Amino acid sequence: MNINRPGRSGAFGGRAAGQAEGGITAENLTKVFHVSARRPGRFSAVRSLISPQRVARTAVDGVSFQIQPGELVAFLGPNGAGKSTTIKMLTGILTPSSGRVEVNGLVPHRERIANARRVGAVFGQRSQLWWDLPARDSLSVLADIHGVGPELFRERVAAFDRILELSAFWDTRARQLSLGQRVRCDLAAALIHDPAVLYLDEPTIGMDVVVKEQVREFLRDQVENRGRTVVLTTHDMTEVERLAERVILINHGQIVYDGDLSTLRRNHSDTDEPDGNADLEDVMRRAFGRQASELLGERAESESSTRLGGTGERAGAQNADKPQAAMSS
């Protein structure tokens, strides 16, 4: 993807000179968790309680990559591969056990507040909206938290509205929004302070095709016209094909591929298929074998259908967590 984006102007812009805005660097990033192991034999629960035995489990093992400003990168892998742990280290939620990470020229876990003001995030069923407030009021509160003035706030919301059509429902309380409406509001909430980097975890899961395309158009606009860096995790390979030119695959805590989609297809395509024309889901099945069903969300989609229970998008919204409000708090 072309990373020489046009400069920001109008409602979006104003980067301080000398900052590496939008760049992400990870070098030998490692995260080890120490968990309690249950002992075998009689009274094992009591013995584990009195004298717990701790074992080390490596979730991320020496991960290295670099993302340039203005790139949209799909970060893919099966469940338990280390995706979420890596993203949490990039956002500053987790501290790495070893290695180096830098986002926007900052070390996220050491400069959490400064980092939070320069990144945005939309994570699955978590929401930044206040449940009993109209969506527009939630955006206004977040703008105040981030120090966005009234005029700039109106300009940015108007820019979001042109593609996401927020004005059709932004006077509705968050608890009454459908899943697709809530996620569109969450995208606006994550970008109201004009961050250089946006992290997205399954942004279109459970949406109908029309709303999915709206969100994809919005993300393309943010990357191509705003120069924003986007890191996307998803089980939807159609989303990957339409949005990303670069893919990072992680498995067992290690990077197994980092490159463009066409090369990935050539490396894992059937000999009968022309280079670059292989179906992406088939490519992932060849690359990950038995774990491909988790990567492609075959279990997740089944669970999502059960959770929605035939009540449409709104059922998904009712199950969302309480507001995460400001990452900077």
Average pLDDT over residues 213-221: 90
In the chain, the percentage of residues whose pLDDT exceeds 70 is 74
Reported confidence tier of residue 285, pLDDT bands at 50, 70, 90? confident
Residue 184's SS3 state is: helix
Residue 273 DSSP class: S
**Average pLDDT of the residues of the chain:** 80
In this predicted structure, the answer to whether residue 187 has a pLDDT above a threshold of 60 is yes
Reported confidence tier of residue 262, pLDDT bands at 50, 70, 90? confident
pLDDT in tens, 37-61: 776 767 676 766 777 777 889 999 9
pLDDT of residue 315: 40
Average pLDDT over residues 112-133: 89
What token pair was written down for 229?
């860096």
108 burial level (CB within 10 Å; 0-12, 13-18, 19+)? buried
pLDDT of residue 313: 42
Q: Vertex 324, ends 193 and 148: CA angle to 5°?
A: 20
Top pLDDT among 5 and 265 is at 265
Reported confidence tier of residue 303, pLDDT bands at 50, 70, 90? very low
pLDDT of residue 211: 84
pTM: 0.77
pLDDT of residue 207: 79
Walk me through the domains of the chain, giving residue ranges and CATH numbers: 24-47+62-318 (3.40.50.300)
- Which residue blocks in the chain are alpha helix, DSSP H? 44-50, 83-91, 112-116, 135-145, 150-164, 179-191, 209-224, 237-243, 261-268, 280-288, 292-295, 298-308, 313-318
In this predicted structure, the answer to whether residue 11 has a pLDDT above a threshold of 80 is no
